[in-house]
């Protein structure tokens, strides 16, 4: 899925629901964040706890925490790029299926599910 396709789907979604694009972007960011964190395999909990949301810039934080926290985008955040990232050195291996708990990864699967949901609403 390309960024252009995803953006076009967002625009169609906003028009079909009558919602402001900012609200749509914030809602979808939350859905993506929830999706990747729910799909992240847990051994110590560190991989799950290191998903970050950056508003307007990438959040490069790496924490030793093992406690997952829920993050909500603040008002106005949908007007800026929203970055959902995890900078642990082994997150790429987890995304590549190195864990039997998440053999299909987290991000690609979540993005496909969110895109499918957007398309269903648009229809």
Q: What is the pLDDT of residues 9-54, one digit of tens each?
A: 767 777 777 777 777 788 888 899 999 999 999 999 999 999 998 8
What per-residue confidence (pLDDT) applies to 16?
75
Q: Residue 56 pLDDT more than 90? A: no
Query: pTM here?
Result: 0.81
Mean pLDDT of the chain: 85
pLDDT digits (tens, 9 = 90+) for 109-121: 999 998 888 777 6
The b/e string for 86-114 (b: 16+ C-beta within 10 A; e otherwise) is: beeeebeebbeeebeebeebbbeebeeeb
The fraction of the chain above a pLDDT of 90, given in percent, is 46
Q: Give the pLDDT confidence score for residue 22 in this predicted structure.
A: 78
Q: Locate 86 and state its tokens.
A: 């995890």
Q: How far apart are CA 25 and CA 6, in angstroms?
A: 11
């Amino acid at each position: 899925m390309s960024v252009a396709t995803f953006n076009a789907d967002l625009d169609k979604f906003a028009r079909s629901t009558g919602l402001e694009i900012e609200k749509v972007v914030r809602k979808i960011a939350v859905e993506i964040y929830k999706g990747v964190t729910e799909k992240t395999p847990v051994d110590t909990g560190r991989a799950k706890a290191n998903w970050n949301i950056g508003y307007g810039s990438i959040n490069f934080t790496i924490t030793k925490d093992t406690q997952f926290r829920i993050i909500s985008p603040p008002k106005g955040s949908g007007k800026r790029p929203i970055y959902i990232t995890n900078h642990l050195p082994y997150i790429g291996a987890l995304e590549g299926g190195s864990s039997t708990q998440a053999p299909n990864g987290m991000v690609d699967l979540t993005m496909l599910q969110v895109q499918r949901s957007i398309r269903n609403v648009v229809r």
